[in-house]
Chain A
Amino acid sequence: MKVTPVNHAKAAEEFIKDTSHERFHDKRLWDLRQKRDEQMHALPEWQELRSLASQIKEHTLTHLPDYLEQFEANATKNGIHVHWAVDAAEHNRIVGEILKKHGVRSLIKSKSMVTEECEMAPYLAQHGVCVIETDLGERIQQLDKQMPSHIVVPAVHKLASDVAKLFAKHYNTDPDDDDPHSLAWAQRLAARPVILSADAGMTGVNFAVAETGSFVVCTNEGNADLSATVPKLHIATLGIERLVPRMADLGVFIRLLSRSALGSPITQYTTHFRAPQKGSEMHVVLVDNGRSHRLGMKDFWTSLKCIRCGACMNTCPVYRRSGGLSYGAVYSGPIGAIIDPTFNERKYSTLPFASTMNGSCTHVCPVKINIHEQLYQWRRVLAEHHELPFVKREMMRMAGKLLGQPKLYRAALRGAETALSVVPRVLLYNAMNPWGKNRELPPPVSQTFYAWYQENRIKKG
């Protein structure tokens, strides 16, 4: 099947055209970045925490098989059923079978990026299970049939007025009442009966602890707690990288997570799950889905340290102005741009180029992933794998040749007028139109520096 690369630039252009959305989006996420900065300033040990978090994750990832087995053994001892899924299909099949065995028709779910990654909801729908998101942002996205546009605030690209219109369609509320309290109330009224009557609940996992076989879920709405504890069946699903070795390690991550994500000291709910409630069943699905392969990639394995805080998105000047949906992937923004190509190199070949490589992401990352360096490295890999557009590839080949031959280069540049038509070609391919669409060219000059030097320094000796 022919795979077309995601056209991030075009989607971003559309997003920017809609000024009110783009302005809000930039402002809202920049506000989160600033709140994150305030939290950082309040903790003198911030950089030490980042280093510790990075070290713990790198240690865990380099001993992953041991810790996974330790987790499995301890979780099993606690009475949790542990499953292993090699890929998305197996994950969905496992979840489907558990649900079938319990005769589940309705499943309430809290936020989980892995289930998005595995496209679980459509799969379960085909098997007669109705999946309802309980996280407000996720529910908005589900009603609007869109992917989450941000890993922490999934509907951040929408205005309250968009949500009012969407809720009016589904909940029969007033389409003009965009007061956030009314909207939250409408969602609460709609969600509570669903939660109370659900057959099963599903959550993601923020951290799984190998030494205890327990896991932690962090939310701000308490919806994960409801999803996990109201029904008699709780399934938690996680990528295999979400392990930490010891309970003592958790403190480092809990302190960093919400501060980095939202600029709050801690999430409203930090719930530890250790064993099923009396009369209930608890299942954990450990998902690989390409992670083992990524772990073996010399330049990219540290992307598995990610704790999904979204700080890189909040700080990214490109993400803030293009919106998460423009990435056309479950994982958007800087972290998305370095992990998406491991899922489908051609489809996401454009994403490492949707960056100015400014490096802000790397320096806010609480686990010190060198995101912008991995973006740079991905560009090389993609060029080597022939995943660059033909024109770009050819222009770079020609530019490289020309820039290696001073005589030819000078001949091409001779005269300041021709310089105007040649240099941008060397510098920015031959495409002058995109430059000039919304920008003027630099004013013409009478002579190049080279010509000036020759006239004023060489000839005058």
Chain B
Amino acid sequence: MKTTMKIGLFVPCYIDAFFPKTGIATLELLEKCGQHVEYPMTQTCCGQPMANAGCNADAAVAEDLFIRNFARYDAIVVPSGSCANHVRHHFDAIPQTDEVEHVRRNTYELVEFLHDILKVQEFPWAEFPHKVGLHNSCSTLRSLRTASMSELGESFFSKPMALLSHVKGISFVTPKRPDECCGFGGTFCITEEAVSVRMGLDKIQDHYTAGAEYIVSADSSCLMHQQGCAERAGVPIRFIHIAEILNGSRA
């Protein structure tokens, strides 16, 4: 494990408001891994909602604030693949100064940070005696590349599964279309409601049929959408962020 770094914790808006447990688990988990973590109190958002809607100029103020909050850290960790992807690959509504480049280069999604940077090999406190289906968001799968994608026919690898395999009692089910998008897609879930829900239901059904008790993901936005679809349709399956399992949540 690397020496202690100064880490800035970025808790995206929907995790802050709807899934505070995920934020708390991320913070505690990083601390258990021996890291010094701070949560800058004036953070809001990375600018992704505006940028993804095409309104890049409107993302400038949020991006600027993001830099002011996080430029002082060695690493910025966020329990969300899509936000990490925005900061790393898009984040260009503001001039690309050294500070901005530092932040973009050192912003990590939680799984890749644990797997690639801290190289954590064990989570002795973690036990999750359940069958889980792993949902890789499209951002983690095809942009951050934390798992192999079926489109390329490459050899199998999965950073989230590698981490989860250190958790006692956990077992994995195999859905038929593991790489299929769940249909959240940011504003897509509102503007294309019918397609979004159809995709969400298919995703849930695929995992449920495979025998999953839980769907686990590194992206709360996908989970929020899938959970909403499952509850309405009455599919008895539960949802949990990977940070919570790795931090020792039992259910």
CB distance from A86 to the nearest CB of B (A): 31
Q: Is the CB of B185 within 8 A of A357?
A: yes
CB distance from A354 to the nearest CB of B (A): 6
Q: Judge if B177 is at the interface, Cβ distance under 8 Å.
A: yes
Q: Judge if A196 is at the interface, Cβ distance under 8 Å.
A: no
Within 8 A of A (CB), among B34-82: 39, 41-45, 47, 49-50, 52-62, 64-65
The stretch of A218-226, A286-294, A376-384 that contacts the partner chain: A376-384
- Residue of A397, A427, A429 most packed against chain B (CB within 10 A): A427
Tell me whether A9 and B49 are in contact in the complex, defined as CB-CB below 8 angstroms, given that A406-B42, A423-B14, A449-B20 are known contacts: no
The answer for the CA separation of A210 and B30 in the assembled complex, in Å, is: 60
Tell me whether A397 and B58 are in contact in the complex, defined as CB-CB below 8 angstroms, given that A439-B232, A441-B228, A442-B18 are known contacts: yes
Q: Judge if A165 is at the interface, Cβ distance under 8 Å.
A: no
Q: Contact partner of A404 among B27, B65, B187, CB < 8 A?
A: B65
| Chain B interface helix/strand/loop/mixed | helix
CB distance from B223 to the nearest CB of A (A): 9
Q: Judge if B192 is at the interface, Cβ distance under 8 Å.
A: yes
Q: Is the CB of B142 within 8 A of A358?
A: yes
Q: Judge if B97 is at the interface, Cβ distance under 8 Å.
A: no
The stretch of B98-106, B123-131, B193-201 that contacts the partner chain: B193-201
Q: Is the CB of A8 within 8 A of B192?
A: yes
The answer for the CA separation of A317 and B141 in the assembled complex, in Å, is: 15
Q: Is the CB of B153 within 8 A of A37?
A: yes
| Chain A interface helix/strand/loop/mixed | helix
Within 8 A of B (CB), among A404-461: 404-406, 409, 413, 416, 419-420, 423, 426-429, 431, 434-435, 437-442, 445, 447-450, 452-454, 457-458
- Residue of B39, B58, B199 most packed against chain A (CB within 10 A): B58
CB distance from A434 to the nearest CB of B (A): 4
CB distance from B98 to the nearest CB of A (A): 22
CB distance from A449 to the nearest CB of B (A): 4
CB distance from B66 to the nearest CB of A (A): 9
Q: Judge if B152 is at the interface, Cβ distance under 8 Å.
A: yes
Q: Judge if B121 is at the interface, Cβ distance under 8 Å.
A: no
Q: Judge if A111 is at the interface, Cβ distance under 8 Å.
A: no
Q: Is the CB of A355 within 8 A of B188?
A: yes
Within 8 A of A (CB), among B155-214: 177, 179-181, 183-200, 202
Within 8 A of A (CB), among B3-28: 11, 13-21, 23-24, 27
Q: Is the CB of A356 within 8 A of B53?
A: no
Q: Given the complex, which residues of B lie within 8 Å of A273, measured CB to CB?
A: none
Q: Given the complex, which residues of B lie within 8 Å of A358, measured CB to CB?
A: 138, 142, 181, 185
Give A347-382 as 1s and 0s: 1 = Cβ < 8 Å from B's Cβ atoms: 000001111111110111000000010001011111
Q: Given the complex, which residues of B lie within 8 Å of A352, measured CB to CB?
A: 54
The answer for the CA separation of A204 and B193 in the assembled complex, in Å, is: 38
Within 8 A of B (CB), among A79-104: none
Q: Judge if A46 is at the interface, Cβ distance under 8 Å.
A: yes
Q: Is the CB of B39 within 8 A of A363?
A: no
Q: Given the complex, which residues of A lie within 8 Å of B177, measured CB to CB?
A: 30
Q: Contact partner of B199 among A317, A362, A379, A447, CB < 8 A?
A: A317
The stretch of A169-177, A331-339, A388-396 that contacts the partner chain: A388-396
Q: Is the CB of A413 within 8 A of B181?
A: no
Tell me whether A453 and B190 are in contact in the complex, defined as CB-CB below 8 angstroms, given that A16-B195, A315-B151, A360-B179 are known contacts: no
CB distance from A192 to the nearest CB of B (A): 41
Q: Is the CB of B13 within 8 A of A392?
A: no
Tell me whether A403 and B44 are in contact in the complex, defined as CB-CB below 8 angstroms, given that A318-B195, A429-B190 are known contacts: yes
CB distance from A332 to the nearest CB of B (A): 14
Q: Is the CB of A457 within 8 A of B198?
A: no
The answer for the CA separation of A403 and B188 in the assembled complex, in Å, is: 20
Q: Is the CB of A396 within 8 A of B53?
A: yes
Q: Judge if B229 is at the interface, Cβ distance under 8 Å.
A: yes
Q: Given the complex, which residues of B lie within 8 Å of A318, measured CB to CB?
A: 183, 192, 195, 199
Q: Contact partner of A448 among B20, B142, B185, B227, CB < 8 A?
A: B20
Q: Judge if B149 is at the interface, Cβ distance under 8 Å.
A: yes
CB distance from B57 to the nearest CB of A (A): 8
Q: Is the CB of A442 within 8 A of B58?
A: no
- Residue of B143, B185, B233 most packed against chain A (CB within 10 A): B185
Q: Contact partner of A427 among B14, B54, B196, CB < 8 A?
A: B14
CB distance from A116 to the nearest CB of B (A): 25
Q: Given the complex, which residues of A lie within 8 Å of B186, measured CB to CB?
A: 356, 428
| B interface residues (Cβ-Cβ under 8 A, vs A) | 11, 13-21, 23-24, 27, 39, 41-45, 47, 49-50, 52-62, 64-65, 90, 138, 141-143, 149-153, 177, 179-181, 183-200, 202, 224-225, 227-229, 231-233
Write 27 A-B pairs (CB below 8 A) sorted by A numbering.
Answer: A12-B192, A47-B153, A317-B181, A321-B199, A322-B195, A354-B195, A357-B138, A360-B138, A364-B151, A376-B52, A383-B53, A388-B53, A396-B58, A400-B61, A404-B62, A404-B64, A404-B65, A423-B13, A423-B14, A423-B18, A434-B190, A440-B232, A445-B18, A445-B19, A448-B16, A449-B15, A452-B24
The 3 tightest CB contacts between A and B, nearest first, are A404-B61, A356-B185, A379-B54
